Each structure stands twice: as C-alpha cells, then as structure tokens.
Amino acid sequence: MFNFKIKTNLLFGADSVKELGERLAKLKLNKPALIIDKAVSSHQQTTALIDSIKKISLKYEIFITDVVEPTYDFLDEFKMNFIGRDFDCIVGIGGGSILDLAKGIATLVRNPGEALLYRGFPDLKNIPLPVVAIPTTAGTGSEVTFNAVFTDSKQKKKLGINSEYNYPILSIIDPLFTLGCPKSVTVSSGADALVHTLESYVHKNHTPFSRILSKEAFKYLFNNLNKVLGEPNNVDIRLKLGMGASLAGAALINAGSGPSGAFSYPLGAVYKVPHGYAGAIFLPEITKINFEKGYRDYAELYNLIEGADLSLSVDKKNAEFVKAINSLMNKLGVYEYIKKFDLKEEEINFLISQHDVLKAAIDQNPIAITKEDTTKIMQNIFKQGV
C-alpha cells in the first residue's frame, strides 16, 4: 500500500505569469496580498504579473521584503502588516524564502499567537488562507510542497511550519524570472533540487510513483545544471531546471529527505551557509558511502546522464555515478564556495555532534550511516579541505 499526492495546479512556461490575474479570478480570489522578493520587485515579469491583476481590477496590495531564510521572529514582525486586513489569498513571488514566508503568513493571519507556537507539524484550528506560489529560483520545490522552513533564532535551529493545508493551490513557473539569477543563486537553488531528487530516490519510503518523479527530476536537473553556467540566458535550460525543481519537490513530499538535507540545517542555522550549498556539500560523500556499503540503485540514474555509457555493468555504472556527482559539484563550485566558511576544529566537532540530534532523518537513508561515518564525512569535507 502506498500514498501519492500532488495537490497543486501548476502552470509552466515563458510569460506564464501573465495569466496570474485571470487564474486568480477563476478561483474566485479577488483580494490577493502579494509578497515580493526585493531582488525581483522591479523585474519585467513582476510588472507583467501585476499588470495582469490590474487588468481585471482585483483589489491587491504589495509587500516587498529582502528576507533570506526567515526566522520565526521575522514572521511575527512581518505578520503585523496583515493584521486587520481583508485579503483572500497570499501570493508569494520569490525564492524559497519568500514562498515559505507566504505559507507562514497564510497560517498566522488565520491562527492566533506567535509563529513558534506552530513549529513542526501543527494541528491548526483554522484553515490558512490559500497560497499561490511564483518561484523565482529553481529551486526549492516549495511551489508543490506544504513545508515552510523557519529558523528559531534563539535555539539556532531550522524547523518549520508544516501544515498539509499549505500546499499552494496554484503555482506558476516562469523561467524568465530565473534568467536574472546570479551564479550563486542558480547553483544553490539548483543543487538544493538535486539533493531533493537523490534523497527522495534512495529514501527508505520511496514508492514506484515517487521514483518516477525523482528520475525525471534527475534527468532535467543533472543535465541542465551541467549547462546552465555556460548558457545562463538559455530559456529552455532555465525551464528544464524549473520543471526539475518542481518534480523534485513533489518526489520529496511523497518519499522524504535524508542525511544531506538533515545536515544542511545546522550548517544553515548556525553558520549561515545558504540552504542549497549546505545540503549539496554532503551529496558526494553520502553517495560514495552508499556505494561502498553495497547500494546499487544508482545505475538507473546513471543511465539518464547525457553521454552515459549504457554498455557498462551495473557495478561500473554505480561507480561512475559516484564520480559524476562529485564532478558536478566541482564544476558548480560547491566545494570552493564552502571553503570560504573555513570551519574550525570545534565547529566540525559541533557538526559531528549533530548526528545524534538528526538521527531520525539520517536513518531514512537506505544504508546505515553511523556516527563514525558522520565523523569521516565531516572531516573529509571540512578538515582535509575539499
């Protein structure tokens, strides 16, 4: 028996944001609050989507913020903009940070008290406002998940407000937004999607349906991440990365995540490493350990790499896959980026100590990752230099 859910109506394509006004009207949503990432507030696609709302005279308001990886405290502060206002939906336009913020606000305007009250998997009294997601990165997949990630600044922990009511009802993926992403944002968000793909693929709870999504996502993400830095203005590549990110998010929500996602949390919350880099840095080591301990399901993913040698044996394909992941991370500059954080001995020991805290998530990996393995992983990445 297995369960499979996709709850969001998705619209993909260049200039698809021009449909926003009509789509909202069809859903009988007439009073949207638009939360916009400052980085795209004067983007031509933002202007286009606002024009589409104006054209059919919806009563809208705009809230612009430059928040990155929001805290619960920020959520409480930002919520004050919405008190006593009569919106009927929240539209998030931005990276994962803004999409998650939109979900958090949608929850808090309908449920009393501070944001921290709703951490984890809350049993909400009232159904949140509907959320519409317009991602401008490719990406977290937040446009198809109910998760919203927030940091507890006192405890320095990344948690979330994860309510199944927060699946966006509509998401519009317009690749013209990501054309403007700086390299670091393209890499971080793309690598995040790759983490979602690989972790959902190997996850103990993967299903035949989630695997279809993980594999398709992998094909789009791996092959196009290899190309995007050379052709950042190629709309087709950007669209494929957007599709890959959404597929990966849908796979993640139907299977789950694993050790790389788990270890990304302390790196992000304590050392402020951007989420995508913080997860991707662990992928090569985890993939290698899985292979060394006998995991052999990577051959099917290897077959999806452009230029793969399909005549290789299953063992050899798995070995080549481990190399391919390592080589992509090198090419994307993930190792180089992480080096800048220059973690010291005691910081590395702190990360190792997180093994016990994160054990439940680490144990979702199909192969046991012991504390000794974690020690080796952290030392390989941060100590000996990557």
Ligand X SMILES: NC(=O)c1ccc[n+]([C@@H]2O[C@H](COP(=O)([O-])OP(=O)(O)OC[C@H]3O[C@@H](n4cnc5c(N)ncnc54)[C@H](O)[C@@H]3O)[C@@H](O)[C@H]2O)c1
Residues in the site for ligand X, rule: CB under 6 A? 37, 39-40, 68-69, 94-98, 100, 136-137, 139-142, 145, 147-149, 177-178, 180-181, 185, 188-189, 192, 249, 275-276
Of 128 and 276, nearer to Fe ion (C-beta) is 276
Query: Which residue in the shown chain puts its C-beta closest to ligand X?
Result: 95
Contact 49, 93 (CB under 8 A): yes
Which DSSP state fits 123?
-
Q: What are phi and psi of 285, to 5 degrees?
A: -65, -40
> Least CB distance from residue 190 to ligand X, whole Å?
9
100 binds Fe ion (CB under 5 A): no
Contact 161, 116 (CB under 8 A): no
Which DSSP state fits 130?
P
69 binds Fe ion (CB under 5 A): no
Task: Report the partner that residue 178 touches, choosing among Fe ion, ligand X, none (CB closer than 5 to 8 A by kind).
Answer: ligand X
Helices (H) and strands (E) in the chain, counts: 16, 8
The C-alpha atoms of residue 15 and residue 18 are separated, in whole angstroms, by 6
Give the CA angle between residues 82, 88, 92 to the nearest 5°: 70
199 binds Fe ion (CB under 5 A): no
Query: Which residue in the shown chain puts its C-beta closest to Fe ion?
Result: 192
The C-alpha atoms of residue 84 and residue 81 are separated, in whole angstroms, by 9
Task: Report the partner that residue 171 touches, choosing among Fe ion, ligand X, none (CB closer than 5 to 8 A by kind).
Answer: none
> Least CB distance from residue 24 to Fe ion, whole Å?
28
Q: Which residues pair with 173 in a beta bridge?
A: 12
CB atoms within 10 A of CB 236: 12
> Least CB distance from residue 267 to ligand X, whole Å?
11
Record the tokens describing residue 181, joined without a space.
């992403």
174 binds Fe ion (CB under 5 A): no
User: Which one of the spans 64-72, 74-82, 188-196, 307-315 is the region binding Fe ion (CB under 5 A)?
Assistant: 188-196
192 binds Fe ion (CB under 5 A): yes
Task: Report the partner that residue 212 touches, choosing among ligand X, Fe ion, none (CB closer than 5 to 8 A by kind).
Answer: none
Where do contacts with Fe ion occur on this chain (CB under 5 A)? 192
